[in-house]
Amino acid sequence: MNQPPVIAIDGPTASGKGTVAMHVANHLGFHYLDSGALYRLVALASQQNGISPSDYGALGELALTMQIEFKNGLVFLGNLDVTEAIRDESIGVLASQIAVYPEVRDALLALQRGFRRSPGLVADGRDMASRIFTNALLKVFLTASVEARAERRYKQLIAKGISARMNVLLQDLQERDARDIQRATAPLKQAEGAYLLDTSKLSVDQAVEQVLSWYQVASRK
Ligand code: C5P
Segments making up each domain of the chain, as ranges: 6-208
Regarding the beta carbon of 11 and ligand 1, being less than 6 Å apart is answered: no
Q: Which of 17, 96, 156 maximizes ligand 1 atoms within 8 Å of its Cβ, making it the mutation to test the pocket?
A: 96
Mutation pick for ligand 1 pocket among 88, 126, 128, 152 (CB with most ligand atoms within 8 Å): 126
Cβ neighbors of 83 (< 8 A, separation 6 or more) are 73, 74, 75
Task: Tell me, in angstroms, the distance from the centre of ligand 1 to residue 25's CA.
Answer: 19
The set of residues, in sequence order, having a beta carbon less than 8 Å from that of 216 and lying 6+ positions away, is none
Mean pLDDT by 10 residues, the chain (221 residues): 92 92 98 97 97 98 96 94 93 93 97 97 96 97 95 90 91 90 88 96 96 96 78
Looking from the CA of residue 112, the nearest atom of ligand 1 is 21
Find out whether the beta carbon of 172 lies less than 6 Å from any atom of ligand 1: no
Shortest-distance Cα residue to atom 9 of ligand 1? 96
Query: How many angstroms separate the alpha carbon of residue 40 from the centre of ligand 1?
Result: 8
Q: How far apart are the C-alpha atoms of 210 and 28, rounded to whole Å?
A: 14
Does 96 contact ligand 1 (Cβ within 6 A)? yes
- The answer to whether the bond into 5 is cis (omega within 30° of 0) is no
Helix (H) or strand (E) holding 82: none
pTM over 0.85: yes
Q: Which atom of ligand 1 is nearest to the CA of 18?
A: 1
What is the pLDDT at residue 39?
Answer: 98
Pick the CATH number of 6-208 from 3.90.1150.10, 2.60.120.380, 3.40.50.300, 3.90.1300.10: 3.40.50.300
Residues in CB range of 129: below 8 A, 6 or more apart: 8, 10, 136, 139, 140, 141, 191, 193, 194
17 Cβ partners below 8 Å, 6+ apart? 9, 10, 11, 124, 142
Listed in sequence order, the residues at least 6 apart from 191 whose beta carbon sits closer than 8 Å to its beta carbon are 8, 10, 129, 130, 139, 141
- In angstroms, what is the span from residue 2 Cα to ligand 1's centroid? 29
Q: So what's the pLDDT on residue 1?
A: 61
DSSP letter (8 states) at residue 127: S
Q: What is the pLDDT of residue 13?
A: 86
Q: Are 115 and 138 in contact (CB under 8 A)?
A: no
CA distance 198 to 213: 16
Ligand 1: does its nearest atom lie under 6 Å from the Cβ of 12? no
| Alpha helix ranges (H) inside 29-131 | 35-48, 56-65, 89-98, 102-107, 109-113
- pLDDT of res. 14: 87
Closest C-alpha to 148, from 96, 93, 199, 204: 199
Alpha carbon distance 3, 41 (integer Å): 27
Q: Supply the pLDDT for residue 183.
A: 87
